[in-house]
Homo-oligomer: A and B are copies of this chain.
Amino acid sequence: MKNYSIAKSRRLRGTPYTSRIEKQGVTAYTVYNHMLLPAAFGSIEESCDHLKKNVQVWDVAAERQVEISGPDSAKLVQLMTCRDLSKSKIGRCYYCPIIDDNGNLVNDPVILKLAEDKWWISIADSDVIFFAKGLASGNIFKVKIFEPNVDIIAIQGPKSFSLMEKVFGKKITELKFFGFDYFDFKGAKHLIARSGWSKQGGFEVYVENTQSGLDLYDYLFEIGKDFNLKPGCPNLIERIESGLLSYGNDFDNNDNPFECGFEKYVNLDSEISFLGKEKLKKIREKGVNRKLMGVFIDTDNISLTRSLDIKNDKGNLIGELRSACYSPHFKKVIGIAMINEPYCKASALGVLEIDGKSLSVKVCDLPFI
10 new A-B contacts, CB < 8 A, other than A100-B133, A106-B133, are A4-B29, A7-B29, A12-B31, A13-B305, A34-B125, A126-B127, A127-B127, A130-B134, A134-B137, A134-B138
Chain B residues closer than 8 Å to A246, beta-carbon distance = 11
Assess whether A312 is interfacial by the CB under 8 Å rule: no
Given A34-B248, A126-B127; A5-B29 close (CB under 8 Å): yes
A18–B39 Cα distance when bound, in Å, is 21
Contact partners of A244 in chain B: CB under 8 A: none
**Cβ-based interface call for A28 (8 A):** yes
A282 an interface residue at 8 Å Cβ cutoff? no
Contact A5 B6 (CB under 8 A): yes
Indicate if A314 sits at the interface (CB-CB under 8 A): no
Ranked 7 nearest A-B pairs via Cβ: A138-B138, A134-B134, A11-B248, A7-B39, A14-B305, A127-B127, A130-B131
A3-B5, A275-B137 known; A323-B30 Cβ under 8 A? no
For A134, list chain B residues within 8 Å (CB).
130-138
A4 B26 Cβ-Cβ under 8 A: yes
**Complex contacts, A5 vs chain B, CB 8 Å:** 3-6, 27-29, 40
A255 shortest CB reach to chain B, Å: 12
A253 to B128, CA, bound (A): 13
A249 x B4 contact (CB < 8 A)? no
Does any Cβ of B come within 8 Å of A129's Cβ? yes
Given A28-B4, A31-B31, A130-B106, the answer on whether A304 and B135 have CB atoms closer than 8 Å is no
Please state if A306 and B127 are interface contacts (CB–CB under 8 Å): no
Question: Does chain B have a CB within 8 A of A154?
Answer: no
Neighbouring B residues of A14 by C-beta, 8 Å: 305-306
Give the chain B neighbours of A12 by CB distance below 8 A: 30-31, 248, 305
The reply to whether the CB of A303 lies closer than 8 angstroms to some CB of chain B is yes
**Secondary structure dominating the interface of A:** mixed
Which residues of chain B have C-beta atoms less than 8 A from A7's C-beta? 28-30, 39-40, 236
- Cα–Cα distance between A284 and B291 once the two chains are bound (Å): 52
Q: How far is the CB of A334 from chain B (nearest CB, A)?
A: 15
Give this chain's copy count.
2
Contact of A22 (CB < 8 Å), options: B2, B106, B131, B253? B2
Chain A residues proximal to chain B, CB less than 8 Å: 2-14, 18, 22, 26-31, 34, 36, 39-40, 100-101, 106, 125-140, 147, 236, 246-249, 253, 275, 303-307, 322-323
**Chain B residues near A26 (CB, 8 Å)?**
4
CA distance A306 to B248 in the complex (A): 25
Cα A128 to Cα B2 in complex, Å, equals 33
11 A-B pairs within 8 Å (CB atoms) are namely A2-B22, A4-B6, A4-B22, A4-B26, A6-B6, A6-B28, A7-B236, A12-B31, A128-B130, A138-B138, A138-B139
A2 partner residues in chain B, CB cutoff 8 A: 22
Give the most central of A12, A128, A132: most B CB within 10 Å: A12
- Cα A91 to Cα B44 in complex, Å, equals 50
**Do residues A9 and B305 form an inter-chain contact, with CB atoms below 8 A?**
yes
Task: Report which of B18, B101, B323 forms a contact with A137, defined as CB distance below 8 A.
Answer: B101
Asked if A253 contacts B129 (CB within 8 A), the reply is yes
Q: Find the B residue at minimum CB distance from A135.
A: B134
The contact of A10 among B22, B100, B304, by CB within 8 Å, is: B304
Q: Are B28 and A136 in contact (CB under 8 A)?
A: no
Contact A8 B131 (CB under 8 A): no
State whether A249 touches B29 (Cβ < 8 A).
no
User: Complex: how many Å from CA A129 to CA B22?
Assistant: 34
